[in-house]
Amino acid sequence: MGETGRRARPGPRRALSEREILDAAMRLLDGGGAEALSVRSVAAELGVAPNALYTYFASKPVLVRALVDDLLGQVGPGTLTPADDDWRGAVTRFALALRETLLAHPGAVPLLLGSGFDGPNALAGGEALLDLLVRAGLPQDTASRASYLIITYILGTVALDAAELPPGVPRPDDAARTAARRGRLAGIPADRFPRTAATADVVAGYNSTEQYLWGLTRLLDGILTGPPGRSTAS
């Protein structure tokens, strides 16, 4: 048989790692948002056939859950270690770090909200937050409710923030975003929406770090004092 009739022998199969796959998936999310992520697109990003990924992740949902848990792992439980028993300071550092991490990858936020939060990093973070609140003086059941309240506050504000960030575009700083929102609010008719118009400067800063900390501080105040007339934590 001549050279032109020979069947080409396959080259060596490329070895992959979970780390490579997760990094490639995050690059796609950062560049094109959640819609850009699929097993096929990740395989193309890595230059392999899609079935090469199934050794590591059996399906797209499995890949997504691993990806979002890996992202949560970037904010380690150590963030929740208080200094001098300052549990509020520890929660604030955790809340700021988690917000910063998630907003650096806004395309991952919708996937995160749809995950089960049952990966090893999510569970470790949740356990650390719950333990911190118990050691702060909250009864265990109250601490569990408070932990859920804190997490939903963080994720809710992050989701609204991330929804305004187009894929592949660096996140503007607070001043630029507030100025842009303030410009859009300038046309609100004060006769129809007088209170909105009067507080337009505050409304324009809804996605700012200042507003985020304002809300978190009041949330922690409520957790600390509990129902009117009694304190739930020291």
Positive or negative: CA dihedral 131, 137, 141, 143: negative
Sign of the dihedral defined by the CA atoms of residues 97, 100, 101, 102, in that order: positive
> Is the pLDDT reported for residue 22 higher than 50?
yes
In order of their start, the domains of the chain are: 15-70 (1.10.10.60), 79-225 (1.10.357.10)
Q: Which two tokens stand for residue 58?
A: 């059996």
Residue 110 Cα to chain centre, angstroms: 9
Dihedral, 158, 162, 168, 174 alpha carbons, nearest 10: -80
Token pair for residue 138? Answer: 């909250």
Q: Which residue has the tokens 């790692």?
A: 17
Residue 186 sits at φ, ψ, to 5 deg, of: -60, -25
Q: Please report which helix (H) or strand (E) contains residue 89, including its range.
A: helix 87-103
Please write the tens of the pLDDT for every residue from 129-148.
Answer: 999 999 999 999 999 999 99
CA–CA separation, 181 vs 202, rounded Å?
10
12 or 116, greater pLDDT: 116
Tokens of 162: 């991330």
Q: What angle do CA 178, 184, 187 make, to 5 degrees?
A: 135
Least confident residue range of 19-23, 151-155, 168-172, 197-201 = 168-172
Is-contact 154 122, C-beta < 8 A?
no
> What distances in angstroms separate CA 228 from CA 141, 160, 223, 225, 232, one per listed residue?
19, 31, 11, 7, 10
Amino acid in the structure at residue 161:
D
| pLDDT value of position 80 | 87
pTM for this entry: 0.86
